[in-house]
C-alpha cells in the first residue's frame, strides 16, 4: 500500500494511492498519517478496508494537487551518518564501528516537489539521497535486530540536504548543517513493508539538473535497516510516525575533487526503486 498526503502545505489530506494513480481520500477514516494513526494500527486497518473494497468506493482527490510529505511532522528525525563504506571513503572519514547518529530538526520535512531554500550565508549546499524508515510502533530497548521489522510502518525516499560549511567549518554538532528549513524533502509515498523486498535490496539514485551524481543500492549499507532501528532503540525511544534516515551512497558534492555545490535555480531529482521519485527546485531563502 502507498500512503500519500494531498493538498496545500499545512492542510494536507491523507489518501491511498491506487494502482492507476487514483488518490483515494481517507480523511473519513483518519485525520492524518501521524503518530496517533500509526500507534492505533492505522495501516492494518487501511489494508483490511482495501481488501474489502471500501477504499475504492471513497472519493478521489485531484491528480494535479500538490503532494505533501507522506507523513505528518515526525517527533524524532534520526539520521545515520557514513553508512555506506564508499561514501565514508569519499568523505575522508573512517568506516564507523557502530552506527554514527545525529538529529535533524523535524520541521525540515517538506513535500517531494516543494522548493528547498538555500540558507542565508550558505556556500556549500549538498544533497544526500537516503532510504527513510517510518516507525510504526514504539521502539524501546528492542531485544534484537530481528524484532525491529514488526515496528516499521514502511519506507520513503528522503533527501538529507546539508550545508557543509555550517556542518563542518563552524565546530560543534552536525545539526547546524542539517536542520535549515526545507532541508528534508520526503516522499512521494510511504510504501508499507509488505510491498518492499529489503532482502533483495533497492536501487538508490540522485541527479542534479538531469546529470547523475549518486548511484547505490541499499544492500551496500554497513548497518541494515533492522540493525539501525534496534541500535537506536537502545539509546532513545522511537515513537510511531518517527523518521530514520539510513545514510547515503557515494557521489555527494563534498566528495568531489572540485565540489559542485548545489546552486540557486538547480533541480535535484532523487529516487529509490519501488518508492518513487522526488523533484526539488533549489531557491534562495526569502
- Give the DSSP per-residue string, the chain: -EEEEESSTT--EEEEE-TTS-EEE-TTT-S-SSHHHHHTTHHHHHHHHHHTT-GGGS-B--TTSPEE-SSPPPS-EEEEES-BHHHHHHTT-PPPSS-EEEE--GGGEE-TTSPEEEPTT---EE--EEEEEEE-S-BSS-SSGGGGGGGEEEEEEEE--EEHIIIIIS-S-THHHH-STT-EEB-S-EEEGGG--TTT--EEEEEETTEEEEEEEGGGBSS-HHHHHHHHHTTSPBPTT-EEE----S--GGGSSS-----TT-EEEEEETTTEEEEEEEEE--
pLDDT of residue 94: 82
How do residues 66-81 score in pLDDT, each as one tens digit? 999 999 999 999 999 9
All CATH 3.90.850.10 domain ranges of the chain, comma separated, are 72-284
Residue 150 pLDDT grade (very low, low, confident, very high; cuts 50, 70, 90): very high
How do residues 207-235 score in pLDDT, each as one tens digit? 999 999 999 999 999 999 999 999 999 99
Q: What is the mean pLDDT of residues 157-180?
A: 93
- Domain 72-284 belongs in CATH node 3.90.850.10: yes
How do residues 39-57 score in pLDDT, each as one tens digit? 999 999 999 999 999 999 9
How do residues 88-124 score in pLDDT, each as one tens digit? 788 787 888 999 999 999 999 999 999 999 999 999 9
Residue 285 pLDDT grade (very low, low, confident, very high; cuts 50, 70, 90): very high
pLDDT of residue 149: 98
Amino acid at each position: 500500500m502507498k500512503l500519500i498526503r494531498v493538498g496545500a502545505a499545512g492542510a494536507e489530506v491523507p489518501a491511498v494511492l491506487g494502482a492507476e494513480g487514483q488518490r483515494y481520500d481517507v480523511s473519513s477514516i483518519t485525520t492524518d498519517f501521524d503518530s496517533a494513526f500509526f500507534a492505533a494500527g492505522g495501516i492494518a486497518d487501511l489494508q483490511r478496508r482495501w481488501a474489502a473494497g471500501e477504499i475504492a468506493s471513497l472519493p478521489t482527490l485531484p491528480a494535479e494537487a500538490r503532494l505533501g510529505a507522506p507523513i505528518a511532522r515526525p517527533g524524532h528525525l534520526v539520521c545515520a551518518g557514513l553508512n555506506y563504506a564508499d561514501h565514508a571513503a569519499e568523505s575522508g572519514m573512517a568506516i564507523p564501528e557502530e552506527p554514527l547518529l545525529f538529529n535533524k530538526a523535524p520541521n525540515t520535512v517538506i513535500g517531494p516537489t516543494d522548493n528547498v531554500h538555500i540558507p542565508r550565508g550558505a556556500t556549500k549546499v549538498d544533497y544526500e539521497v537516503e532510504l527513510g524508515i517510518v516507525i510504526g510502533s514504539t521502539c524501546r530497548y528492542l531485544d534484537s535486530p530481528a524484532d525491529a521489522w514488526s515496528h516499521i510502518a514502511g519506507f520513503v525516499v528522503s533527501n538529507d540536504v546539508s550545508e557543509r560549511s555550517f556542518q563542518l567549518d563552524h565546530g560543534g554538532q552536525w545539526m547546524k548543517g542539517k536542520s535549515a528549513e526545507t532541508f528534508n524533502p520526503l516522499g512521494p509515498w510511504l510504501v508499507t513493508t509488505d510491498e518492499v523486498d529489503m532482502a533483495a535490496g533497492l536501487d538508490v539514485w540522485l541527479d542534479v539538473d538531469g546529470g547523475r551524481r549518486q548511484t547505490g543500492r541499499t544492500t551496500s549499507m554497513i548497518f541494515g535497516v533492522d540493525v539501525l532501528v534496534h541500535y537506536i532503540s537502545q539509546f532513545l525511544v522511537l515513537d510511531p510516525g518517527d523518521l530514520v534516515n539510513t545514510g547515503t551512497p557515494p557521489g555527494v558534492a563534498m566528495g568531489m575533487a572540485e565540489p559542485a555545490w548545489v546552486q540557486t535555480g538547480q533541480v535535484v531529482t532523487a529516487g529509490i526503486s519501488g518508492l518513487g521519485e522526488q523533484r526539488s527546485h533549489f531557491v534562495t531563502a526569502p
